[in-house]
Structures are given as structure tokens and as C-alpha cells.
Structure 1
Amino acid sequence: MPHAPQRRWELDALRGLMLVLMTLTHMPTMYSLPSGQPFGFVSAAEGFVFLSAYMAGRVYGQRGRRDGLDAMQTAFHARALKLYVCQLGLLLLAFTAIAWLGVHNRQGGVTGLLEFFFIDPASAVVGAALLLHNPPLLDILPMYIVFMLASPWLLRRGLQQGWRGVLAVSGLLWLGQQWGLGQLLYDEAVALTGLPVPYKDMGAFHWLAWQMLWVVGLWLGTRQKPLPRVPLWVLLPASLYALGMLLWRHMAGQDPLPWLPAVGMLLDKWSLGPMRVLNFASVFLVLVSAGPWLVRVLPRPHALELLGRHALAVFCAHIVIALFTLAFFGSTQVVRPWTTDVALLLAAFAGLFAVAMLLDERARGTGVLRAFSRTRHPAH
């Protein structure tokens, strides 16, 4: 009987790093823009989604092999429900306290973020509850929830019949999004149902593109064998491409060629443009190849591990902190002393670590109680 997969600290550390980068990007300070996409034209969102999919494939794939596919599906649905409850909590906060504070404090960052809510509150609330309206900052969890709900079927198909067909369909959907498939499906839905939520207010992430990142991560997570060694003839061009994109990003800024929009489309974040996918793949191959060496030589980042172990709670906390910062201090367009922005970031990270440490202590206490119970009742 297969055992449950052991927790890998390096994966927790990577997720922790993604959370740090997202916090730096989402906190409305002068450091938001410079800290975005530090490793090339690849953001923390890609890394977070891919790592989440990989860990889901690893954990739930093993659960399916050990306890059966029905148990795996139940576990997926339970996790999706937990994510949905978190999303409802964030929406409730945004549509009440944050909306009121934004209007009261005359903060355009908040009123812009909740623009559709102020235009059509009823449609915004119902649409958000149905995961159809997803304001900025609140548009990652809905995508995560839908992918989690689709994952049991994907895993069933992959484990029983192989992943080739699943990966092929996923690639075709990504390609379709590059040619406007999402907009086409939206227009058809509006014609059939009169959907009142504008396309732009359904969230910045184009799910038909981002599902490919999830499916690939899920597939790799279910592999029972280690990833094969990357051959030099693949690793060398991948390294050169990753280095070139890294230099380009920091020389040109966030917009690679403002005077040539076609290049921007090829590197578009929201639809995962082809050059962006290649950038992510090249960084991934470099990390996979250098990972064992890095794990040996670098000091173990316990702080990042702590954040990564409690990724969902820390993620939600960083959204809450960012929303309140917007409501009280304004957006990145508000000019503040650098000391104020540093203080805001320090306070934000203090809050994130406080949440993670509280949950860690709670988990340790629960573990001690369970161990004590087993010693008192060894038959159970």
C-alpha cells in the first residue's frame, strides 16, 4: 500500500517565495512595480498556480492510488469548498468595509477596484458568489477553485487512460485563447443568458490559457518517478533564453516594447502569451536542473517554509492587508515618503508571519494531542 507523500520543504519554500513576491506586488507602495516579475517576464502568479497544481497532483494522486478515485474526488471537493468559503469571506470584506472606507476616504484605488460593484451592486454580488465577477486582487482564488473542481476528472482520465489526450486538449484550449476564444464564448453566453457582468470584470486571468499551466503541474505531480535529467542540448538554450528575458525585463521595464504592441501580446501575462510560456518553461528547466545543487549549498529558508506551509491562510491575509492599505493609504499613484512605504511593507510582512506562526503553533498542538491520544489508546 503506498504511503502518503512526505512534505518537501523546498516546495514550501518556493511557495513562500511566491507569496512574498505577490505581497510586494499587491501592496500599493513605490516598490510594487519594480518588484514585479523579478526573474524575467514571469510573475509570482505563474509560480504559485503551477506549484499548487503540482502539489495537488502529488497529494491527491497518491490519495487516489491509496484510497480509490472516489476518495480522491471527495478530498478535492472538500478543498475546493474551503477555498470557496475563503473567497466569500474576502468578497464580504471587500463589498462592505473596504467599499465604505474607499468612499469615505475618497480613495480612487478602492473605488476603481470595485467599480462594477458601485455601478451594479446586485449583479456584482450575485456574479461574485457564482465566480463570474472577480475584481482585481480577488480574481486568483476563483480560478483556483474552478481548477480544483475540474481536477478529479482530469486525474481520473490521466491515471486511467494516460495524460496524452488531456495535455493535447489543454494545449488546444490555450491556443484558442490566444486567438480570442474566451471573448467568443463570453459573447455567446451574453447572447443566450443576458449575462450582465462585463468581460473585463470577470477577472484579469484568462482561465482558458491558465488551465494549461494547471494541467501540466497536475500531470507532473502525479508522476511516481523523478523527472528525467534535462539534456544539455535542451538546458543550454533554455538557460540562454531565461538569461536573455531576465536582462530584457530589467533593462526595458515591465512593458517590453511599448511601441510594438504585438510583442506585448506574445508576453501577455493574462493570456499567457507564447513567449511568456517559453520564459516560464526555461526558468522551470533551469530550476529543475540546478535544484539539487541549490538545496545542498543554500541555507534552508525556514521563514519562507513557514509561509509556504500555510499558503492559503497567508494568501488570504495578504489580500486583506492590501485591501486595507488601499482603503487608508491609497494606490501606488499616491506619492508618499519612502519611509511610509517601507513601514507599510514591514507591517504587512509582520502580519503574514504572525498568521503563519499562529497556525504553526496550532498544528503542533494538534499533533501533540493526537500523539498523546495514540499513546493512551494504542488500539485506535
Structure 2
Amino acid sequence: MMINGRDHRIDFFRGLALIFIFWDHIPHNPLAELTVRNFGFSDAAEIFVFLAGYAAVLAYGKIARRDGLLIASVKIWRRAWVLYVVHIFLLAVLMGIVFFANSHVETRDLVQEMGLQYFLSNPQQALTDELLLRFKPNLMDPLPLYIVLLIGLPLVLPMLLRKARYVVGVSLALYLIAPYWNFASQEGGVWFFNPIAWQFLFILGGALALYGQDNPAVDHRPLSQQPLFLGAVVYLLVTGLVAVSWKWPHLHDAVMPVALGEWVYPISKTNLSPLRLLHFLALVYVVAKIVPHGEWLNQWLVRQVCRMGRYSLEVFCLGVILAPLADMFNALRGDGWAVQVFSALMGVGLMAVLAQWLDWNKRLGMAPKA
């Protein structure tokens, strides 16, 4: 289903990634066993960054072509500034929630689990690091990454609109040196999501948005006769088996020889390991091939997920707040299976309500004035 040129499959998968990110950050949540991280080397973070690049280049590329690069750049940097302010506000809210929860949950140290001990031991330096995007407790890493990627987008957008393959080539070169270069973080650490590595996924998403619009290369042969598709499926099956085996060490030892394991591990998330990247690209390719436009996008539940994807950043911020609240709720209620599922589903419901309200508010603002 495409309306006004918008591919609602993109909205659906962005919304699904937000649900997965939320579930993955609730400790002991049974529904987290259903997320993509359990069935391969990549997870919802790759979906979020890739589709963020796709959506950003699609939106601001149109503005650049219509109104000029200067106007597009100003709008991009204005958006980055808004997200910077939101990041600071969100971090303050998150700390307030965690400190409050920690005083009510006696069985765990939520402050330590959320990475907020640094603020208690070094409050002045932590505040400075917060302003410099160096203080990033758990759940907060994706937003600073997106801010940095947005700030850099105007520098590559002109060439991306003209010669996307050159930009992808330079981006690939940066990705290859990422293990040797990262941004500084708190207490002498580095960013959990290395922007030098993750920019490649962002740029790939943007390049796909432009390439898919202008000249999509479609192989019309049956899928069983497409070597690239078959290779991607095999890779997904093999990596899925390895990922599932992590839960059972004996099975893992059977499917992963020691010598091969020494070469494969660790599968770095910080530097976007090539195995993670290849898994995600294979997943994108297979999904794009087998998930068509169609009436399934008109189903009620699917529409709610699509709406969440259209307002992904607002919904993501709400998820950051809801995850520790759900954790606190579960801890106070005994961490039973039913309680955990209830809190996880209730959180998704609240995220959907926010998206519904934002959509209604947008339509209200677009209504003609009497």
C-alpha cells in the first residue's frame, strides 16, 4: 500500500522495531524472546538506524530538490537541535523515574543496572558529559547516534542526490576504519553505537530510498532461480541456528566448532560487525522480496503499528520512559509471567495511543480554518 508515494511497509517495520526495542529493554520480559535479536546476529537497532536513514533522505531530499539545499540543511539542523533538547529532557525524566523506582524496589539496584551510578558519584562531570552527549545511560544510546547522523547529513546530501555510489563508497571506507576510531564517552569510555560504523547503515538506507525511487532493479525470475535471494536465505538460516543455539550451550558446541567460533566472536555491536551487517542486509533483501504491498497493510492491528512507525522518534522516547516503569511494576508485583506480559503489552498500547494522538493532532492542524 502506497499513499502519496509513501511505502507503508517502511512505517510498519519502523513501528515493529520500536516494539522490539521496548520489549528488549524490559528485564526478564517473556515477549522479548520473540524479537529479531533471538533469531540472528542483528537486532532492532539496525532496523531503526537503517530506516531512519531511509526516511530522512527521502524527506529532506524532496525538500532539497524543491526548495534548495540551504533550506533542507536548515530544516535538518533544526530537527537535530530539537532532538538534542529532547535528549537532555528525556535523560532528566529517566533519571527521576529510576531514582524513584530504586527507592521502592528493594531486591535490585536499578540505578546500577541503568548505568546511572556515574551521575551519583560525579554529578558535575555527568552534567557536562550530558550536554556533550557523552553521558548515555542504558536505553539512551540510539538518540545521540541519530542526532550526530542528522548533523552530518547536510554534508553528504548534495552528493547523495547526484552520485549516491560515491557517498556509499566513502561511507564504506569510514566503516572499515571504525574499529580504530570512536567518540569519547563517560569515564574514558567510548560510544556504545560507534557513529563511524553506524553511519554506513544510515547512508545505505538513504541511498536505497533514492535508488528505489529512481530506478529499482527488479529480478522478475521466480525466487527459486535467484542466486542472491537463495544465498541470503541460507545465511539467515545458518545465523538463525547459531543464535538459537546460544540458549543451549551443548547445541552451540555442536553447530559452532571452536576454531570457527574464535574467528566469529565477538560479534561487535559497537562497531557493527560485518557479520551483523551482512545478516541485516540479507534480512532486508529477503523481506523486501517476500513481503508485498497488499491488503494486509489495511488490517487494524497493522495500521496501529504503521502509525507508530510514522511517529517513530516520539514513540521511541515514550518507550525509553515506559521501559523502567514496566520493570518497576514487574518487580513490585512479583515478576510473574502474567504480570510481565501485561506490562509489556500495556506499554505497547500506550505507545500506540501516543501515535494515535499525534496523528489526530496533525490532522487537526491541517484542517481548514473557518
* TM-score category of the 2 structures, normalised to the smaller one: 0.7 to 0.9
Q: Report the equivalent of 2:129.
A: 127
* CA displacement, residues 112-151 of structure 1 (integer Å, 9 cap, x when unaligned): 3212112211111211121122111011100000000100
Given the alignment of the two structures, is residue 235 of structure 1 paired with residue 235 of structure 2, yes or no? Answer: no
Structure 2 match to 1:168? 169
Query: Offset at 1:355?
Result: 1.1
Counterpart for residue 153 of structure 2: 151
Give SS of 1:365's match.
helix
User: Which amino acid in the other structure matches residue 296 of structure 1?
Assistant: G
Q: Compared with structure 1, are the counterparts of its residues 366 and 258 closer, same or farther at alpha carbon in structure 2 (3 Å cutoff)?
A: farther
Cα 1:297–1:248, aligned 2, differ >3 Å: closer, same or farther?
Answer: farther
Offset at residue 165 of structure 1 (A): 3.5
How has the CA–CA distance of structure 1 residues 35 and 242 changed in structure 2, closer, same or farther, with 3 Å as cutoff?
same
User: Paired residue for 2:361?
Assistant: 362
Aligned CA distance change for structure 1 residues 330 and 212 (closer, same or farther; 3 Å): farther
Shift of 1:163: 2.9
How far is the alpha carbon of 1:17 from its aligned partner? Answer: 0.9
Alignment partners' CA distance in 2, 1:258 and 1:310? 44
Quickly say closer, same or farther: Cα 1:290–1:26, change in 2 above 3 A.
Answer: same
Q: Which 10-residue stretch deviates more, 123-132 or 22-31?
A: 22-31
Contact (CA 8 Å) 1:28, 1:325: kept in 2 or not?
no
Amino acid of the structure 2 residue aligned with 1:101:
A
1:59-138 equivalences under 5 Å are 59-103=59-103, 105-106=105-106, 107-113=108-114, 114-138=116-140
Q: Do the aligned residues in 1 keep the contact of 2:26 with 2:323 (CA within 8 Å)? A: yes
Distance 1:350 1:26 in 2: 16
1:135–1:203 Cα contact (<8 Å) kept: no
1:361 and 1:5, CA in 2 relative to 1: closer, same or farther beyond 3 A?
closer
Superposition deviation, residue 227 in structure 1? 2.6
CA offset at residue 104 of structure 1?
5.4
Matching residue of 1:296: 294
Does structure 2 conserve the Cα–Cα contact (< 8 Å) formed by 1:158 and 1:166? yes
Cα separation, partners in 2 of 1:93 and 1:27, compared to 1, 3 Å: same
Distance 2:44 2:360 in 1: 27
Q: CA deviation at 1:199?
A: 4.2
In the alignment, the residues of structure 2 paired with residue 246 and residue 199 of structure 1 have an alpha-carbon distance, to the nearest angstrom, of 35
Equivalent AA in structure 2 for residue 20 of structure 1: I
What's 1:353 paired with?
A: 352
The equivalent residue for 1:204 is: 192
1:27–1:322 contact (8 Å) kept in structure 2: yes
Does the 8 Å contact 1:25/1:35 carry over to 2?
Answer: no
**Structure 2 CA distance for aligned equivalents of residues 226 and 287 of structure 1:** 19
Q: Could you report, residue by residue, the CA deviation over 1:251-271 in whole angstroms, capped at 9, with x for unpaired residues? A: 334997697454232x32222
Aligned residues of 2:160 and 2:167 also touching (Cα < 8 A): yes
**Equivalent position amino acid for 1:246 in 2:** G
Aligned residue in 2 for 1:191:
none
State the Cα deviation string for residues 283-325 of structure 1 (Å, max 9, x = none). 1111222233xx2364532121121122111111111011223
CA distance in 2 between partners of 1:17 and 1:169 (Å): 31
**Residue in structure 2 matching 1:246, options 229, 240, 251:** 240
Matched ranges for 1:275-354 at <5 A: 275-292=275-292, 295-296=293-294, 298-300=296-298, 301-327=302-328, 329-330=330-331, 336-354=335-353
Farther-moved stretch of structure 1 (359-368 vs 245-254): 245-254
* Higher mean C-alpha deviation, range 132-141 or range 34-43: 34-43
In the alignment, the residues of structure 1 paired with residue 168 and residue 238 of structure 2 have an alpha-carbon distance, to the nearest angstrom, of 28
| Structure 1 residues 57 and 213: CA distance shift in structure 2, 3 A | same
Amino acid corresponding to residue 356 of structure 2 in structure 1: M
Q: Which amino acid aligns with 1:250?
A: V
Alpha-carbon separation, structure 2, partners of 1:5 and 1:258 = 51
- CA distance in 2 between counterparts of 1:291 and 1:151 reads 30
Moved more, 225-234 or 131-140: 225-234
**C-alpha distance 261-338 of structure 1, shift in aligned 2 (>3 A):** farther
Instruction: Measure, in 2, the Cα distance between the counterparts of 1:348 and 1:254.
Output: 30
Using structure 1 for the length normalisation, give the TM-score.
0.83
> Cα distance 1:221–1:329, how it changes in 2: closer, same or farther (>3 A)?
same
Q: 1:22 to 1:177 in 2, by over 3 A?
A: same
TM-aligned CA deviation for residue 225 of structure 1:
1.2
Give the deviation of 1:14 after TM superposition.
1.2
* 2:330 and 2:336 in contact (8 A); partners too: no
Are 1:62 and 1:222, in contact at CA under 8 Å, matched by a contact in 2? no
- Sequence identity percentage: 28
